[in-house]
Amino acid sequence: MAEEKTSTPGPSILGIRSLRKSFGELAVLTDISLSVDRGNVVSIIGPSGSGKSTLLRCASFLERADGGDILYDGQYALRDGVYAPKTELNRFRTKFGLVFQNFQLFPHYSVMRNICEAPILHGTDREEARERALTLMRKMGLEGKENAYPYQLSGGQQQRVAIARALAMKPEILYFDEPTSALDPELTGEVLKVIRQLAEEKMTMVVVTHEMPFAKAVSNHVIFMAGGVIVEQGDPLAVFEDPKEERTKQFLRVFER
């Protein structure tokens, strides 16, 4: 899977420096800096309202940041609060994929069309796009579902279609915005399983999640956010077993039961 496109080789695909974002008076992100290296899985955890999702949405250009830098492959998408021209942003957009909490599949498209329309629009040969979609569906455990419509699928299946749809664009980095939060508890496992599988294949990913055991087991870097800042980050074992900050300890205590 995670086949890399020819582009400037560099250790970090995504770089974020001093990122700021407010909604009106409310500062949602203040001075966020992080970088994501190729092949790494970064989990972002933290209480709701801490700015985790906003951070992902800024990284995927769905929200406009107010200040700071966003770099893809060392190139500026946002430099000191100023965005690169539209055509540049479109080019950066091909580097990432995003999986939404509520799937956001296109309800009027079959599973197949959901997955392969965007690649076809971007110039992929129709047959090749279909082939790739079938391969991805097999991988996601969705064999035989190509003609199904989203409403005919379970939440877990829909989310796996959404993951396949994002992967069909061959992103270099994949973002997950609470991918299991809209699922019934018995369905989260199947989605986490495919994400874990992607991690094993060295797909670069950033996962905003409330699934602590998953974050601990799958990621190689954990970021704990609260109140719009990164409170603590590091190796998952360090953050989960031996948190340095009081807020991290407090947050993690809730999950110990």
Residues 6+ apart with CB under 8 A from 82: none
Q: Are 180 and 196 in contact (CB under 8 A)?
A: no
Q: How far is the CB of 100 from other proteins (least distance, A)?
A: 6
Nearer to other proteins, 76 or 149 (CB): 149
Q: Closest distance between other proteins and the C-beta of residue 18, in Å?
A: 24
Q: Least distance in Å: CB of 180 to other proteins? A: 17
Query: Measured from the CB of residue 62, what is the shortest distance to other proteins in angstroms?
Result: 5
Residue 35 or 94 having the CB closest to other proteins: 94
Which is closer to other proteins, CB of 57 or CB of 221?
57
Least separation, in Å, of the C-beta of 150 and other proteins?
A: 7
Shortest spacing between CB 107 and other proteins, in angstroms: 5
Question: Are 16 and 78 spatial neighbours (Cβ–Cβ below 8 Å)?
Answer: no
Would you say 100 or 214 has its CB closer to other proteins? 100
**Closer residue to other proteins (CB): 106 or 255:** 106
In the complex, minimum distance from the CB of residue 23 to other proteins, in angstroms, rounded to a whole number: 15
CB-wise, 121 or 254, nearer to other proteins?
121
Site residues, other proteins (CB under 8 A): 60-62, 90, 93-94, 96-98, 100, 102, 104-108, 117-118, 121-122, 149-151, 165-166, 169
Full 3-state SS string of the chain: CCCCCCCCCCCEEEEEEEEEEEECCEEEEEEEEEEEECCCEEEEECCCCCCHHHHHHHHCCCCCCCEEEEEECCEEEEECCEECCHHHHHHHHCCEEEECCCCCCCCCCCHHHHHHHHHHHCCCCHHHHHHHHHHHHHHCCCCCCCCCCHHHCCHHHHHHHHHHHHHCCCCCEEEEECCCCCCCHHHHHHHHHHHHHHHHCCCEEEEECCCHHHHHHHCCEEEEEECCEEEEEECHHHHHHCCCCHHHHHHHHHHCC
Cβ distance to other proteins smaller for residue 126 or 244 = 126
Q: How many CA atoms lie within 13 A of 219 on its CB side?
A: 31
